[in-house]
Amino acid sequence: MRGRAELWEQVVEQLDAGIVLVNRLLTVTYRNPWMARTPGLAADRVEGRSLGEAFPRLSDDGALDRLKSVVEQGVPVTFSHAFHRGLFPLREPWPDTDAPFYQEVKSLSLRKGEETEGAVLLVYDVTALALREFTLTEAARQLRLLREEMALMRGEMALQAPSLDKILALLEGAP
């Protein structure tokens, strides 16, 4: 049987998520094939460059500063798709669309003993989850509007109820 390192390499190479390794200076030292394929950026535009230079969107909203805290303080960071939709320029695999993926990015420090050597960024495609959330949110909004409309109708019917009772009483011959 192959060694553990070979097996891990195979897992990383076939993983359906992005992996980016950076050193203490936030220079990209590695990205797995998924992360190389999905943004479609050439290796020389990413590897050996600073994270902010390779992926400029990380400079927006303080994401790069939060990633610095991962290597400086060992504090893990998660970027939710709800607040940071496109930190990486990932694209849908269909050639006729430019719609970005909804991403969740997790970053953990890489340590050797007490010393932090860098960080790993794990990039997950959560597009299907995000689209389901949007659909459910819209359905909940429409349901709320329908409930409000029904409450108004119920109120209008309550106002008309005494008149209906009088009409029924007249039809039945009551005074």
Digit-by-digit pLDDT tens for the chain (175 residues) are 568 878 788 877 877 788 899 999 999 999 888 887 776 667 677 888 888 888 888 877 788 888 888 888 888 988 877 776 677 776 655 455 556 678 888 999 998 888 889 999 998 888 777 778 878 888 888 888 888 887 787 777 666 666 666 766 666 776 5
Say how far apart CA 21 and CA 32 lie, in whole Å: 9
pLDDT at res. 153:
76
Helices (DSSP H) in the chain: which residue ranges?
Answer: 4-14, 33-37, 51-54, 63-73, 127-172
pLDDT of residue 27: 92
pTM for the model stands at 0.68
Q: Which CATH number fits domain 4-125: 3.30.450.20, 3.30.565.10, 3.40.50.2000, 3.40.50.300?
A: 3.30.450.20
Q: Under a CB-based contact definition with an 8 Å cutoff, are residues 85 and 101 in contact? A: no
The per-residue pLDDT for 55 is: 83
| Predicted pLDDT at 106 | 92
pLDDT of residue 168: 67
| Amino acid at residue number 123 | V
Give residue 118's pLDDT. 92
Distance CA(95)–CA(18), nearest Å, equals 20
What CA–CA distance (Å, rounded) separates 46 from 135?
35
Residue 122 backbone dihedrals phi, psi, to 5 degrees: -105, 120
